[in-house]
Amino acid sequence: MQSTLPSYDESAVMDASSVARYAMDSKLMVNFYVRAVQNNFKTSQEGRPIFDEVEFIRIIIPGDTKTIIDTKVNPEYRHRFADKYERFQKGLAQAQSGTPLEVWPQMTVGQVAELKAMHISTVEQLADLSDVLAQKIMGSHQLRQKAQAFLEAAAGEAQNSKMAAELEKRDVEIAALKEQMAQILKVKAKPDSPKAA
């Protein structure tokens, strides 16, 4: 008797595992750049220092000043951070997206400087700070709660703004339909012109 095992798509399993593995990548500070690296072989051949331009990546966990990955770019990094790598290739800025701490009214200049020293530059990064990393920053638990509340309120306001825009669009469409209906009724109300005999 032959048993049949259910088949599965290995690439789908690998994609699902890599999605789970790198789920927190959006919270990382990632920067691609070019560094001049001495080419020892060419240097020995030419008898003078020869350097090659090599792509590097710097990965920083917001709130963690001790763990910084700074290494050569490999295919995994190109794939994992494809949007940032594409911006790097096009010569565009690779800035973190989010609300800068400087524009958030809850922050003092000193707090902004302290958080930036901890590699935290946006309200979103502050809100997502882990408990372990938050313990290293004085008063960060309250700031983190304020940041979370600010983001939740902003998300609610965004929904309200979207709904208001949709209602305004609907009102404009209704007004246009009413105008068309009025024009149609005017045309129908006019008596037919007399026919020439």
- Closest Cα to residue 99, out of 142, 128, 77, 139? 128
- Closest Cα to residue 28, out of 93, 112, 96, 82? 96
The helix, strand and coil proportions of the chain, stated in percent and rounded to the nearest 5, come to 55, 15, 30
pLDDT by residue for the chain (197 residues), tens digit each? 444 434 434 444 445 555 666 777 877 888 899 988 899 998 888 888 888 899 999 998 888 888 888 999 999 999 999 888 988 888 776 666 778 888 888 888 888 888 888 888 888 888 888 777 777 776 767 888 888 888 888 776 667 677 777 888 888 889 889 988 888 888 887 766 555 54
Domain ranges of the chain: 19-95, 98-190
For the stretch 101-130, what's the b/e string if a residue is b when 16 or more beta carbons lie within 10 angstroms of its beta carbon? beebeebeeebbebbeebbbbbbbbbbbbe
What pTM did the predictor assign? 0.53
From the number of C-beta atoms within 10 Å of its C-beta (0-12, 13-18, 19+), residue 13 rates as: exposed
- Spatial separation of the C-alpha atoms in residues 43 and 50, rounded to whole Å: 5
